[in-house]
Amino acid sequence: MDFSTNVTYLSLEGHVELEKYRYIYFLITLIVYILIIFCNVVVISVIYTSKRLHEPMYVFIAALLCNSLFGTAAFYPKLLSDFLSEKPVISREACMIQAFCIYTYGVSEFVLLSAMAFDRYVSICKPLQYPTLVKMSTVKKVLFFCWFVPSCEVGISIILTYRQLCKFKLTRIYCSNYSIAKLSCGDLTVMNSYGLFLLSINVFPPVTFIIYSYARILDVCLKNSKEFRRKALQTCFPHLFIFISFSVTGCFEVINSRIDGNVPHIVSLLMSVENAVFPPLFNPIIYGLKLQEISNRIKKMISKSKTFFRLNC
């Protein structure tokens, strides 16, 4: 493997069609990022400060939101600076770091969604076994696995990509591993094989498991009372909505990166950033509104804040 390189900076050409209204896009992106940080931090804080919410389901939600903050931190600051730049460029090392963080975020998201599906499956389908199957010690091990293993897997992928480059133009607004690999001078067989291996172990098993879990949950719900169905669906709907959204756009991103621009650029652009916009923004909103325990805590927190301001104004 040749670790030498004749390219030190990469040009992000995906901004070309956004150039005309870049200041408007900057303002919109800044507002979205502020909302993402605010909404996620609020729900994480509510879960962290309330002992009643120190249960596996809520711990997994907090972990999912922390993962969103991690992924968006790798995406938004660079994007915001690029909107203010005359010619968006990024150093090769920074590009690799961004790709590492974004891919780790994506893989960890799938693992966390699988863990949450298992939690809901045991809670609804095997409630008597829940205390023994889903213990806090087990949750801690799962969370360690959710971030450590994806980091190692993606790290190997980044190392395989680090080779001599013959081109310097990325047709994107952020760095993805495969788009960097396509700039390489060498053969991509090993890189492609490892990428397909990662896809097969990190996407298909979680998707299959989540579909199976919800099929079983639906079967149990249909056999129980209307009130039971309402409560079960109330806790499952947010997770299922996020899973479908993340899976569809994730699959589109994987396929689109390998068909060399046969999709209109604006469609490709919108779909490629969807996972950095909708899950991080709507996760805390959906969970905050749909899960009564969290929404009640948020309402109490807002009520206390209003009382505090009245007394001090």
pLDDT tens per residue across span 20-69: 788 898 999 999 999 999 999 999 999 998 888 889 989 999 999 999 99
Element (H, E) at 91: strand 89-91
Does residue 236 have a pLDDT over 70?
yes
Domain annotation covers residue 69: yes
CATH of the domain at 193: 1.20.1070.10
Report the domain count for the chain. Answer: 1
Domain annotation covers residue 312: no
Does residue 93 have a pLDDT over 60?
yes
Domain annotation covers residue 243: yes
pLDDT at 247: 78
Please enumerate in sequence order all residues whose Cβ is within 8 A of that of 39, keeping only pairs 6 or more positions apart, or say none: 281, 284, 285, 288
pLDDT at 100: 93
30-39, 153-162, 257-266: least confidently modelled range: 257-266
Burial class of 169 by CB neighbour count within 10 A (0 to 12, 13 to 18, 19+)? exposed
Average pLDDT for 273-283: 82
Domain annotation covers residue 1: no
More confident call, 192 vs 117 = 117
CB 287 within 8 A of CB 238: yes
* Confidence tier at 265 by pLDDT (50, 70, 90): low
Q: Which amino acid is at 222?
A: L
Average pLDDT for 100-126: 90
**Structure tokens of 217?**
């949950």
Please calculate the CA angle 298-300-306 and round it to the nearest 5 degrees.
Answer: 105
Considering the chain, what is the average pLDDT of its residues?
83
Q: Which of 161, 162, 146 is nearest to 202 (CA)?
A: 146
Domain annotation covers residue 4: no
Q: How many CB atoms lie within 10 A of CB 292?
A: 11
Domain annotation covers residue 49: yes
12-16, 51-55, 267-271: least confidently modelled range: 267-271
- What are the phi and psi torsion angles at 224 (to 5°)? -115, -175
Domain annotation covers residue 3: no
Domain carrying residue 89? 9-307
- Alpha helices (H) along the chain: 22-49, 56-83, 92-125, 130-133, 136-161, 177-181, 189-202, 204-222, 226-256, 265-290, 292-312
Domain annotation covers residue 102: yes
